Amino acid sequence: MRKRQPDAVDTILEQWRQERPDLDASPMGPIGRIKRCAALLQRRLDDTFAKFGMTGWEFDVLATLRRSGKPYCLAPTALFSSLMVTSGTMTHRLQRLEANGLVQRVPNSKDARSMLVQLTPAGLKLIDRAVKAHIENERNILGLLPPTTLAGLDHHLSELLSTLEGPDDSIS
């Protein structure tokens, strides 16, 4: 195994070893690294979204509609459940996307009392371009790791996720 360079979390762990040698702070290592990786990754992802005039949440909503398949239409409850936000937050987000011409509300043919959210042609065109760039960005980020390391990381993160997710944490 190749020796790695110390990272910011190593510094934190060393500080705890100095200040509280009675504590085993080792759980802070993986969790701190996951949190730091998430923050650094989010910056890189946000840079790509910004090139398309989008935020991360806008990308998430449009991508969720796009991956739902034709006619790229979901009930607002399915959207906010999938994106793990409140209905109030989703209402505000949908209003903004609708004002920008990226989604529209359409009648639900199965329930006359409700509306569905659908990608507009402009929204479909935007998300198709953005998701292509997003995947390329992720490929470039992960391309810094050897394939075997990446496969192991994916496997171990999947195991961790399986232990953390409950029945209410699934993504549609």
Domains with residue ranges and CATH for the chain: 28-143 (1.10.10.10)
Closest CA relative to residue 36, chosen from 12, 55, 9, 65: 9
pLDDT number for residue 151: 96
pLDDT digits (tens, 9 = 90+) for 67-115: 999 999 998 888 877 877 777 888 888 999 999 999 999 988 887 788 8
Question: How far is it, in rounded angstroms, from Cα 96 to Cα 24?
Answer: 47
pLDDT digits (tens, 9 = 90+) for 27-71: 999 999 999 999 999 999 999 999 999 999 999 999 999 999 999
Cα–Cα separations (whole angstroms), residue 23 to 9, 33, 34, 35, 159: 16, 19, 21, 21, 26
User: Terminus-to-terminus CA distance in the chain, angstroms?
Assistant: 38
pTM: 0.84
Binned at pLDDT 50, 70 and 90, residue 170 comes out as low
